[in-house]
Amino acid sequence: MTAATTTSLAEGGHDVRGMFDRVAPRYDAANRIMSAGVDGIWRKKAIARLLEGLGGAPRLLDLGAGTLDGGLEIVRRAPGARVAAADFSREMLRAGRKKLPAGVVIETHGADGHALPYCDAAFDGAFSAFCVRNLRNLPRALPELRRVVRPGGRLAILEFFRPDKPRFFFDRVYNAHVLPLVGWAITGDREAYRYLRDSIAQFRSRGELEALLRAAGFDDVAGQPLFPSGVASLVVAS
């Protein structure tokens, strides 16, 4: 297996890059419908925390940038920010570039989160929404984030974590049955949204990710659940 193929796989062996390339044209529509727009509220909250104290012109990395919703929210809140949007799905980035308003510049880079093509301390902060769950080797990828974020910089991770306690509606009803059906109806890709369901159930808890971030060299790590309670969580580290 080649390195390029290996790094496109999640921990469970799923071809995540191929999956995102397939669903890219309908990805935004599926997200909005499945979350009833709440994903936008989560993203705004996470980016507000990311930008605290970083000044008016920070250098920022959006890892797993997808269709650039995160990058667009960053430049909306901090017009002077310089954003590098990195994703290994070039089709997702291509879909995102079509959304850029005239005059808005977000650099897009096809990149692997396990070996980022940036210098040490290149960024004042980094943002990642629903990406780290799709990385094959977190003990390798998280130190890469630590390397490219300057000392004292901030990392904000928005993610679906494995719950500490079973949630009847979200785990046994919505994620198990509703989410795959809705995703299939919108994108035509049943397997992608089965993967989404399974990846949440098999991922780490928020506490486990926080421990990995500390091991990677982030000293100040704190997480909080986001509304609706227990569905998504925000982890901020510096």
Q: Which domains does the chain have, with CATH numbers?
A: 3-14+37-161+204-237 (3.40.50.150)
Residue 112 clears pLDDT 60, i.e. is over it: yes
Share of the chain above pLDDT 70, in %: 87
Angle CA(15)–CA(17)–CA(21) in degrees, nearest 5? 120
Residue 1 clears pLDDT 90, i.e. is over it: no
Write the CA distances from 47 to 34, 113, 160, integer angstroms: 21, 20, 16
Dist. CA 183–CA 229, nearest whole Å: 22
Residue 229 clears pLDDT 80, i.e. is over it: no
Which tokens belong to 59? 């250098």
The 3-state DSSP class for residue 107 equals strand
Nearest-10 Cα torsion for 88, 64, 191, 210? 130
Dist. CA 97–CA 177, nearest whole Å: 32
What integer pLDDT is reported at residue 23 of this predicted model? 94
What integer pLDDT is reported at residue 230 of this predicted model? 63
What integer pLDDT is reported at residue 164 of this predicted model? 78
Task: State the pairing for strand pair 82-87/59-63.
Answer: parallel
Range 189-203 average pLDDT: 82
User: What mean pLDDT is reported for the chain?
Assistant: 89
Of the candidate ranges 88-102, 142-156, 189-203, 209-223, the one whose mean pLDDT is the lowest: 189-203
Dist. CA 10–CA 32, nearest whole Å: 24
The confidence band for 171, taking pLDDT boundaries of 50, 70 and 90, is low
DSSP 52-66: TTS-SS-EEEEET-T
pLDDT tens readout for residues 42-99: 999 999 999 999 999 999 999 999 999 999 999 999 999 999 999 999 999 999 999 9
Range 171-180 average pLDDT: 67
What integer pLDDT is reported at residue 172 of this predicted model? 65
The confidence band for 227, taking pLDDT boundaries of 50, 70 and 90, is confident
Of the candidate ranges 98-107, 132-141, 159-168, the one whose mean pLDDT is the lowest: 159-168
What integer pLDDT is reported at residue 190 of this predicted model? 75
What integer pLDDT is reported at residue 174 of this predicted model? 65
Write the CA distances from 202 to 11, 159, 162, 163, 197, integer angstroms: 9, 13, 7, 10, 9
pTM for the full predicted model: 0.89
Please name which of 159, 113, 93 lies closest in space to residue 9, comparing C-alpha atoms: 113
What integer pLDDT is reported at residue 36 of this predicted model? 84
What integer pLDDT is reported at residue 168 of this predicted model? 55
